[in-house]
Chain A
Amino acid sequence: MRLTALTAVTAVILLAVIIELLRRRQLREKYAVLWIGVGAAAVLLGFFPGMLNALARSVGVASGASLVLFLGVVFLLLVCIHLSWETSQLEEETRTLAEEVALIRAELAARETPEMVNDR
């Protein structure tokens, strides 16, 4: 029983942190939806632990704890893959910006020393 109380409190804090981050515009909405979903699910399970075992039995898993562990690991893996993907996108974007900066600087330098320009 004490574990469920702990889960419930943790879930509520989690949800509160996410909402606070959103309120301060520290978290983009697209990520917030995901985490609010996770927080809400945790709150639900924290307050109604009976649901978990019922859910586990309905999909043929013996104990609710195993189901939570399994889903948790899968979920975290997916989040990691998503973050790698997101960083790759960001690297591509900063690469383009770096190129722009280099071109603009070359353009500026050429204007400052007109005799160096070998345009048509």
Chain B
Amino acid sequence: MIDDQRVLIIVPAWNEAASIADVVTEITGELPGTDVLVVDDGSTDDTGRLASDAGAIVVRLPYNLGVGGAMRLGYRYAKARGYDAAVQVDADGQHDPRYVPKLLDRLQDASLVIGARFAGEGDYQTRGPRRWAMTVLSFVLSRMAGHRLTDTTSGFRACDRSLIELFAEWYPVEYLGDTVETTVRVLRLGYQVKQVPVAMRPRFSGTPSKSPVKAMLYLARAFFALGLAVTRR
């Protein structure tokens, strides 16, 4: 419990055996009042067992669905167990759990709170197509929200009970659908979306991609996802 709220930390994890135990241990250490749910997204390594040994509740998908699929399962779990708030935290250690109480605080005047890079805190930088994509995404979504949202593709986000119920029924599996499309839909439905500046850390394991081809592909897919999201209904 945090402030009389039952909070579930949802960690979608696919083959994160190198970092998952540290991530779970850190979350339970920093946030003793919360439950940690690791959604093992069809990992072929030891992710599930390591998470369970570290003290997390583990649900295991029989095959890989992607972040969106893992998250809907997490929200279904949260809905079934009656949690008041859910926070998504990545399994690679980029998200610092010490920001979680700040995200939860903002839930008092918003239904969805995004932990945003580029908002003053930290020194996260991107360049090239990836940056253009993020600029356009944040421009469009800021206009929809009526205030500035600097980082719409952040997977570090908290939501309240009403959105847990929505996301348990509806959560896209498509690439970027889990971040961009959900934000668009939530804004369209009239919920408040706020952001809290956060500093991202380097990953505990793995390396971010730097290939220019991948960056261009990211740009194309981001615009595709955004274009579809804003023209729906």
A111 close to B (CB within 8 Å):
no
- Whether A98 touches B65, Cβ cut-off 8 Å, given contacts A103-B73, A103-B80, is yes
Which secondary structure dominates where chain B touches chain A? mixed
In the complex, what's the smallest C-beta–C-beta distance from B7 to chain A, in angstroms? 12
Q: Taking the complex as formed, is A102 at the interface, i.e. its CB lies under 8 A from any CB of chain B?
A: yes
Contact (Cβ within 8 A) A102 B60? yes
Residues of A within 8 A of B129 (CB): none
Q: A95-B65, A95-B173, A118-B35 are in contact. Are A102 and B81 (CB under 8 A)?
A: no
CB neighbours (8 Å) of A98 from chain B are 61-63, 65, 69
Residues of B61-115 whose CB lies within 8 A of A:
61-63, 65, 69, 72-73, 76-77, 80-82
Contacts of B60 in A (CB 8 A): 102, 105-106
A99 within 8 Å of B (CB atoms): yes
Q: B59 interface residue, CB < 8 Å from A?
A: yes
**For residue B76, which residues in chain A have a CB less than 8 angstroms away from its CB?**
99, 103
Chain A interface category by residue count? 10 to 19
CA distance in complex: A102, B13 (Å): 14
Chain B residues near A62 (CB-CB < 8 A): none
Q: Given the known A-B contacts A95-B69, A118-B35, are A106 and B57 also in contact in the complex, defined by CB atoms under 8 Å? A: yes
Q: What residues of A have a CB within 8 angstroms of the CB of B77 in the complex?
A: 103, 106
Instruction: Name the B residues within 8 Å of A105 (CB-CB).
Output: 59-60
CB distance from A108 to the nearest CB of B (A): 11
A29 within 8 A of partner (CB): no
| Alpha-carbon distance between A116 and B36 when the two chains are bound, in angstroms | 12
Is A120 close to B, CB under 8 A?
A: yes
1/0 contact string of A77-120 vs chain B (CB within 8 Å): 00000000000000000010011011101100000000010111
Chain A residues within 8 Å of B, Cβ to Cβ: 95, 98-99, 101-103, 105-106, 116, 118-120
**Could you jot down 23 A-B contacts, CB within 8 Å?**
A95-B65, A95-B69, A95-B173, A98-B61, A98-B62, A98-B63, A98-B65, A99-B69, A99-B76, A101-B61, A101-B62, A102-B59, A102-B61, A102-B62, A103-B59, A103-B73, A103-B77, A106-B57, A106-B60, A106-B77, A118-B57, A120-B81, A120-B82
